[in-house]
Amino acid sequence: MPSEFELIKRYFDRPARSAAMGVGDDAALLQPAAGMDLAVSTDLLLEGRHFRAGADARKLGHKALAVNLSDMAAMGAAPRWATLALALPRADEAWLEGFAKGFFALAQRFGVELVGGDTTRGPLSVCVTILGEVPGGLALYRAGALPGDDIWVSGELGGAALGLAQPGNPAAARRLDEPDPRVELGERLRGLATAAIDVSDGFAQDLGHILERSGVGAVVEYARLPAFPGTDARQVLAGGDDYELVFTARQERRAEIEALGRELKLALARVGSIQKGPPALQVLDAGRRPMPLARGFDHFAP
């Protein structure tokens, strides 16, 4: 049976490139570039709550990092470093190998270095903290939306919820298990978007956070929302785990945003507009009647 330290060395100790000290000492040492703000975010994934028992280890490694990369994207930050806190019921090397494969494949794609973590025995849980850089003053906040702004959504909505409902639908299951964080889009939205958030708990709820923080309302046309094929309105509006970006921008920037979508080969749909008034969201159906909104995901909802 390998020791804790052998497992760390075997699966998680990769030579540090940009960190002055990565895995192996008491703390990592990082040197953000001059003029950059450091963006930091943490997500905790628990077996039975965020993923089912027996979930594929490689996909879990991918998703644990992907959800954190998505937070960097929503902030307009370039992801640089990550730490990984793992609780494992046992030293299962096949599991660790799969997990590391999924994690590092995505890390490499976005130039993220794993610089530390913690490994302990316990009920399976995975906690990643990510650190990224964004030029001072250019981070994308939830609070910047202004009346008259357009509301945009990347990719498609509801696919992850469909994947949960229909595990036999491979395209939808892929949306749930292996989300594609919109990192390039987030970075390119600096100075272009007025506010941004990623869709982790459902479009309506996550847009609602922008509205609350910005002190504005919104009208969205349901027919303009980019629905994943086969989804229903509940999945599109309230399905979580899509990790698309919802952002707002001045109307004058429409052509730039459309050009950006073409350049990134990523669908960007203009779905509605920000209104003066209380932070309420109206979603209109084809007859321009307000649709009822299901609640998004809330861990403590009764």
8 Å CB contact between 86 and 196? no
CB atoms closer than 10 angstroms to residue 228 = 22
Which range of residues in 94-102, 114-122, 139-147, 294-302 is near Mg ion by CB under 5 A? 114-122
Q: Would you say 82 or 237 has its CB closer to Mg ion? A: 82
Give the tokens for residue 16: 């540090």
Q: How many angstroms separate the Cα of 282 from the Cα of each of 19, 38, 120, 132?
A: 46, 35, 46, 34
**Of 282, 156, 159, residue with least CA distance to 226:** 156
Smallest gap from Cβ 85 to Mg ion, in A, equals 9
Smallest gap from Cβ 164 to ligand ADP, in A, equals 27
Smallest gap from Cβ 23 to ligand ADP, in A, equals 4
- Choosing among Mg ion, ligand ADP, none, which partner's interface includes residue 130 (Cβ < 5 to 8 Å by kind)? none
Which range of residues in 20-28, 54-62, 117-125, 275-283 is near Mg ion by CB under 5 A? 117-125
CA distance 99 to 119: 14
Q: How many angstroms separate the Cα of 240 from the Cα of each of 18, 211, 237, 243?
A: 34, 18, 9, 8
Smallest gap from Cβ 117 to Mg ion, in A, equals 8
Smallest gap from Cβ 48 to ligand ADP, in A, equals 21
- Choosing among ligand ADP, Mg ion, none, which partner's interface includes residue 228 (Cβ < 5 to 8 Å by kind)? none
β-bridge pairing 113-121 and 125-135: unpaired
Q: Would you say 96 or 193 has its CB closer to Mg ion? A: 96
- Choosing among ligand ADP, Mg ion, none, which partner's interface includes residue 202 (Cβ < 5 to 8 Å by kind)? none
Residue 268, classed as helix, strand or coil, is strand
CA distance 101 to 87: 18
Q: Would you say 23 or 207 has its CB closer to Mg ion? A: 23
- Choosing among Mg ion, ligand ADP, none, which partner's interface includes residue 114 (Cβ < 5 to 8 Å by kind)? ligand ADP
Smallest gap from Cβ 81 to ligand ADP, in A, equals 11
Smallest gap from Cβ 25 to ligand ADP, in A, equals 5
- Is 258 an interacting residue with respect to Mg ion (CB under 5 A)? no
3-class secondary structure per residue, 129-164:
EEEEEEECCCCCCHHHCCCCCEEEEECCECHHHHHH
- Sign for the CA dihedral angle at 279, 159, 189, 262 comes to negative
Smallest gap from Cβ 105 to ligand ADP, in A, equals 16
User: Where do contacts with ligand ADP occur on this chain (CB under 6 A)?
Assistant: 8, 12, 23-26, 84, 86, 114, 116-119
C-alpha neighbours within 13 Å on the C-beta side of residue 288: 0
Q: Would you say 130 or 245 has its CB closer to ligand ADP? A: 130
8 Å CB contact between 289 and 231? no
Which of 6, 118, 263, 285 is in the footprint of Mg ion by CB under 5 A? Answer: 118
- Choosing among Mg ion, ligand ADP, none, which partner's interface includes residue 24 (Cβ < 5 to 8 Å by kind)? ligand ADP
Which range of residues in 78-86, 113-121, 228-236, 269-277 is near Mg ion by CB under 5 A? 113-121
Contacts of 63 (CB under 8 A, 6+ apart): 45, 51, 102, 177, 178, 179
Binding site for Mg ion (CB under 5 A): 118
